[in-house]
């Protein structure tokens, strides 16, 4: 899939397409694993596939809607500028190849959990994983909706949104994504031998907090305006928490 997306990106001169298909890529992995393992007959596999579709389709649809008509993401424009004509080729491995590798590691609970579904029955901890997933999915979905609605009003251009979930965390969507993948991990574990799958939510948590999520956006917003600085000072960066008093 990543090679096909790379070919499309060359034609449209926009590698941001890789972000739009991030969620849908996991759907393809989960669906392919389910079909190859005949997991559709088992409850754990049914849950893993259904929840992945719910998360992945919503995320990809939202990003496609949000990015429609926009130029290439600033991150990729900067990379394109630094690398010049070489970017067309190097983007295959520094953008598409890297995301493909990360997707493979993060999706391990979907692959192994469905593959082992015939060996184990669902237990109470697995249902806890389902509950954690839904809390995270709601956090992510509601956070995206609240911010999109705020930005849809021209009068709010350049202003800070600090209402709803955004009053308690600067990144409710990333916190929600964090819970989604911890929930899927817990759901996927049917045996003690499967605990090694924890590398998936750990990697996703690291990316969300330290690499492409919280840390990146906070660096971009830090010096934007005094209003943004005040918002960052009083609002929790990640875990929802009541805002500090001025």
**Each residue's pLDDT tens digit, 105-126:** 999 999 999 988 767 778 899 9
Residue 246 lies in a domain: no
User: Is 204 in the same domain as 226?
Assistant: yes
- Angle 98-103-108 from CA coordinates, rounded to 5°: 135
**Which residues of the chain fall below pLDDT 70?**
118, 223, 246
Q: List all residues 6 or more positions away from 41 whose beta carbon is below 8 Å from its beta carbon.
A: 118
**Amino acid 11: pLDDT:** 92
Query: For residue 27, what are the domain limits?
Result: 1-118
Q: List all residues 6 or more positions away from 162 whose beta carbon is below 8 Å from its beta carbon.
A: 231, 235, 243
User: Is 106 in the same domain as 156?
Assistant: no
Distance CA 117, CA 222 (A): 46
Residue 5 lies in a domain: yes
User: Is 132 in the same domain as 82?
Assistant: no
**Amino acid 246: pLDDT:** 64
What is the pTM for the complete model shown?
0.93
Question: Which of 90, 118, 146 marks a domain boundary?
Answer: 118
């Amino acid at each position: 899939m990543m090679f096909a997306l790379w070919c499309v990106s060359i034609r449209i001169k926009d590698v941001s397409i890789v972000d739009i298909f991030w969620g849908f890529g996991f759907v393809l992995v989960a669906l392919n694993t389910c079909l190859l393992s005949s997991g559709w007959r088992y409850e754990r596999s049914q849950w893993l596939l259904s929840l992945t579709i719910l998360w992945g389709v919503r995320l990809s649809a939202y990003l496609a809607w949000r990015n429609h008509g926009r130029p290439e993401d600033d991150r990729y424009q900067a990379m394109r500028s630094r690398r010049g004509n070489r970017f067309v080729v190097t983007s295959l491995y520094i953008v598409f190849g890297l995301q493909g590798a990360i997707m493979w590691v993060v999706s391990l609970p979907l692959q192994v959990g469905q593959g082992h579904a015939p060996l184990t029955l669902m237990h109470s901890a697995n249902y806890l994983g389902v509950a954690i997933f839904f809390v995270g999915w709601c956090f992510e979905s509601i956070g995206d909706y609240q911010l999109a609605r705020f930005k849809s009003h021209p009068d709010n251009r350049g202003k800070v949104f600090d209402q709803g979930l955004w009053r308690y965390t600067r990144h409710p969507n990333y916190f929600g994504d964090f819970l989604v993948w911890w929930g899927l991990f817990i759901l996927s574990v049917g045996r003690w031998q499967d605990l090694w799958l924890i590398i998936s939510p750990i990697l996703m948590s690291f990316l969300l907090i330290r690499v492409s999520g919280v840390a990146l956006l906070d660096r971009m917003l830090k010096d934007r305006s005094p209003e943004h600085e005040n918002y960052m000072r009083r609002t929790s960066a990640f875990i929802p928490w009541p805002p500090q008093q001025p």
